[in-house]
Amino acid sequence: MSELEERRLEIDSGGVTLRGELTSSGEENTLVVLCHGIPLSPPDPSDGGH
């Protein structure tokens, strides 16, 4: 396996900047995973999963 290369990534979505990182092994096969969570409402202290 080759060495992993990591780069920071920023994507603008409707005026909100989603930050993440891109990790690449340089191999031919590629997998892209984008995970984000933009809450619909302000944080609720009683909601542990918010």
The residue ranges of DSSP E strands in the chain, in sequence order, are 5-13, 16-24
Q: Is residue 38 part of a domain?
A: no
- Amino acid 45: pLDDT: 83
Domain that holds residue 5: 1-25
- Amino acid 36: pLDDT: 65
* Tens digits of residue pLDDT in 1-49: 578 888 898 888 788 788 888 888 888 877 777 776 666 777 788 876 6
Domain count, the chain: 1
pTM across the whole model: 0.43
Closest CA to 18 of 31, 33, 4, 3: 33
Q: Is residue 3 part of a domain?
A: yes
- Amino acid 1: pLDDT: 58
- Amino acid 50: pLDDT: 53
